[in-house]
Structure 1
Amino acid sequence: MARVVTPRQDGHKDLHSERGAERGEHSGRSQNPTIRVADIAWLEFTKPDLMRAEAFARAFGFGIALRDPQELHLRGTTAGPPCVILRRGPRTRFAGLALRAADEVDVLRLADKTGAPVLRLPEVIGGIGVQLTDPSGTPVKVVAGQHELPAQPEQQPQVINAGSGVARVNATVRPPRVPARVQRLGHVVLQSTIYVQTLNWYLDTFGMIVSDFLFFPGQRERGPAMSFIRCDRGSTPTDHHTLALALGPADRYIHSAYEVSDLDALAAGGEYLKERGYQRSWGIGRHIQGSQLFDYWRDPDGFLVEHFADGDVFDNTLEPGWAPFTASGLAQWGPPATKDFLDASPRAARHQVTSMLAALRGDNEFDLNRLVGLLKVAAS
């Protein structure tokens, strides 16, 4: 069946603060992708201490779908497979992501085009998948036909008296300080030393499309340095970004984000985490690209995770926006981006310097000019 082509719109007229692409800049989409994925499915990590990981996961608001001595599956309240799979290992490590194909036929098509074998996934998850590796070395599964965990009760949003509308009469707002119940996995953010090559691979292989590009201050002519990438589901709106990809001195995980019901759930859930001694990295605020309300936390192993609510959704008609990549441009309101969030804290300094020196010696896109641009981000 021929794919219906929907006329594209200027995504920045009355919508974004910055204009769209200039002549000759990256289009943000592939002309003939191998398949078009429907969503992100789950993330995989190894952890040395699953009991400690579970304690944080419960405080953060995950449900437990499976627990055994070697594996822990975390779920949200929406129906579907688990959104995080933790396996026992000698050290904390991001072990890859899984993307959900539209159907099993797309998994077979991808296997045929790439030469990768079709894998039957463990029975506890079900379905089939293809295991690939992106150009930066991140393992990427593409899956379909998984068992669907039944939906669980959601944390209901508070009834709000907003503007001139009155919806709450003879009643108060008293959100309890309990974990903010995670509804689902929203997105993952990765860093790459070969950013453009990796970006093009996701667009060409999975039919993903760019919602917004960021460029280093004063370096727009060098091309983008970060992209927020969504799934192309035609006229069906999808999250502003399912994957975000940034140029940097190391190929690594940056953070992952999990949706909660509303601002009250996010804020009260943050108080619950703080009372239990967990570290807030940055928040609460509202982003610009994607518009999400956000609150970032460090898990006990130092990995960054985000609660978010009220994010943008786009269909496939919107073209990407372009904006400078600055620390002050990461939020519409909220506290300034912290050194911890920007990986500029003393805790991260030695690792960052080592990564930068290694990247500058390597054959990649991270040269001295790009290092200068990256250093300007935190100061701008």
Structure 2
Amino acid sequence: MNDPTSTPGPTADAHQGLHSGQGALRGEHPGRAAQPVIKVVDLAWLEFTKPDLDRAEAFAHDFGFTAAARTDDVLHLRGALAGPHCLVIRRGPASRFVGPAFRAADAADLDRLARATGHEVRTLTEYGGGRVVDLLDPSGVPVRVVHGVTEQPARQLQQPLVLNTGPTAARINATQRPPRKPSQVQRLGHVVLSTRVFRRALDWYLQHLGLIVSDFLYLDGQRDRGPSMAFIRCDRGSEPADHHTLAMHLGPDTGYVHSAYQVADLDALAAGGAYLRERGYHHSWGIGRHIQGSQIFDYWRDPDRFMFEHYADGDVFDNTLEPGWAAMSASGLAQWGPPATRDFLGTTPSPGAFLQAISALREDNEIDRARLLGLLKALSK
């Protein structure tokens, strides 16, 4: 059980110019709360609504999910590793992202979170069961924290290929023929959200869910105004966790940017991407390797334009690493791979994007003219 009165352990700077450009300056955001209410251990699932569940299930199969349960009104999707379902798609009048659900470490954490927020613990009556506390983050995104959800047993996993590397031949008298088929999704890795109230949203997740920052990005020339993006992981103490379970960035829109799903290796990712291309799906960006998180990535759009990522070989950190700090830029998103596309960056000119920017500038939030120009400059570099 998490002790909300405990203080964080010592931190270390292991970036060494590889994980990120530099560490924090004096007085900058520490990247964690001193006494969080609870410490969630992982993402549980993401929820969407879509009017056509058959089309949603067809894409899910082609992307590499397995249906865990299906009714006329809701589809539950899972990965191959043991655990709860990782996507919930409900029938609704429009395609939209609803919000994420995070897993609490134990039942007492739900009670503690409910008391701290003035909410109640409810019983989930649909597939998977369990208990839940329903919250709203400062951006207005519904956030669920769950415990006791039924976990499904592992399925047979797609195995990484045996590789001959340099002078080491592990594969003799055998060829490589990765099958052209869907990449098997092993699990949900992370979700990325955009918000107009970045600092408030960041502090809310760190304080209420006990998440900790792996990397901060800031706008060139505006570091003194604080970070504009954070890659945030679960605090599991000495047990390593994904480099980021949640990432958030300051932007004129609010809500879902993309979600990411682990696959076996580069060949599974590439062969699965070839399969998706043959099936006519829209490729957004990839294949490449990220800097923050180090994942090999490939990004795709589903039929409703939601972005989904296959990834492999991501970083995992324990709770001793301090946040890295680096300037935000489009070219700084990858170590290698093709340049980031307008589709991925969300910079394709459109009336909708223009109206979002105007709306953001008129509201009381963290978007002003300098921040907006800084974001546009970062995404063009």
TM-score band, normalised by the shorter chain? over 0.9
Gaps of 5+ in 1: none
- Which letter maps to 1:251? T
Q: Does 1:41 align with 2:55?
A: no
Aligned alpha-carbon RMSD (Å): 1.2
Q: Does 1:282 align with 2:277?
A: no
Q: Does 1:126 align with 2:129?
A: yes
- Which letter maps to 1:49? D
- What is the number of equivalent residue pairs in this alignment? 378
Instruction: For residue 15 of structure 1, report the CA deviation from its aligned partner.
Output: 3.9
- Which letter maps to 1:272? Y
Question: What is aligned with 1:24?
Answer: 27
Which stretch shifts more, 291-300 or 161-170?
A: 161-170
Is the contact between residue 39 and residue 210 of structure 2 (CA under 8 Å) also seen in structure 1?
A: yes
The secondary structure found in structure 1 opposite 2:220 is coil
Instruction: For residue 14 of structure 1, report the CA deviation from its aligned partner.
Output: 5.3
Q: Does 1:175 align with 2:184?
A: no
Q: Which of the numbers 155, 159, 162 marks the counterpart of 2:158?
A: 155
**CA distance in 1 between partners of 2:71 and 2:32 (Å):** 42
The secondary structure found in structure 1 opposite 2:261 is strand
The secondary structure found in structure 2 opposite 1:245 is strand
Question: What is aligned with 2:59?
Answer: 56
Q: Which of the numbers 215, 228, 232 marks the counterpart of 1:229?
A: 232
Which stretch shifts more, 155-164 or 14-23?
A: 14-23
Task: Summarize the Cα distance change of 1:224–1:51 in structure 2 as closer, same or farther, 3 Å threshold.
Answer: same
- Which letter maps to 2:379? A
Q: Does 1:322 align with 2:325?
A: yes
The secondary structure found in structure 2 opposite 1:341 is helix
List aligned pairs for 1:1-380, cutoff 5 A: 3=6, 6-13=9-16, 15-346=18-349, 349-380=350-381
- Which letter maps to 2:365? N
Instruction: For residue 56 of structure 1, report the CA deviation from its aligned partner.
Output: 0.6
Instruction: For residue 6 of structure 1, report the CA deviation from its aligned partner.
Output: 3.5
- Which letter maps to 2:67? I
Is the contact between residue 299 and residue 308 of structure 2 (CA under 8 Å) also seen in structure 1?
A: yes
Instruction: For residue 251 of structure 1, report the CA deviation from its aligned partner.
Output: 1.2
- Which letter maps to 2:147? A
Instruction: For residue 378 of structure 1, report the CA deviation from its aligned partner.
Output: 1.8
- Which letter maps to 1:273? L
**CA distance in 2 between partners of 1:312 and 1:258 (Å):** 14
Instruction: For residue 122 of structure 1, report the CA deviation from its aligned partner.
Output: 1.8
- Which letter maps to 2:369? L
**CA distance in 2 between partners of 1:224 and 1:323 (Å):** 9
- Which letter maps to 2:362? R
**CA distance in 1 between partners of 2:258 and 2:351 (Å):** 20
**CA distance in 1 between partners of 2:51 and 2:127 (Å):** 22
Q: TM-score, normalised by structure 2?
A: 0.97
Is the contact between residue 20 and residue 325 of structure 2 (CA under 8 Å) also seen in structure 1?
A: no
- Which letter maps to 1:126? G
Is the contact between residue 11 and residue 321 of structure 1 (CA under 8 Å) also seen in structure 2?
A: no
- Which letter maps to 2:232? I
- Which letter maps to 1:140? V
Is the contact between residue 11 and residue 20 of structure 1 (CA under 8 Å) also seen in structure 2?
A: no
- Which letter maps to 2:61? R
Identical pairs, percent: 62
Instruction: For residue 3 of structure 1, report the CA deviation from its aligned partner.
Output: 4.8
The secondary structure found in structure 2 opposite 1:366 is coil
Instruction: For residue 139 of structure 1, report the CA deviation from its aligned partner.
Output: 0.3
**CA distance in 1 between partners of 2:9 and 2:211 (Å):** 16
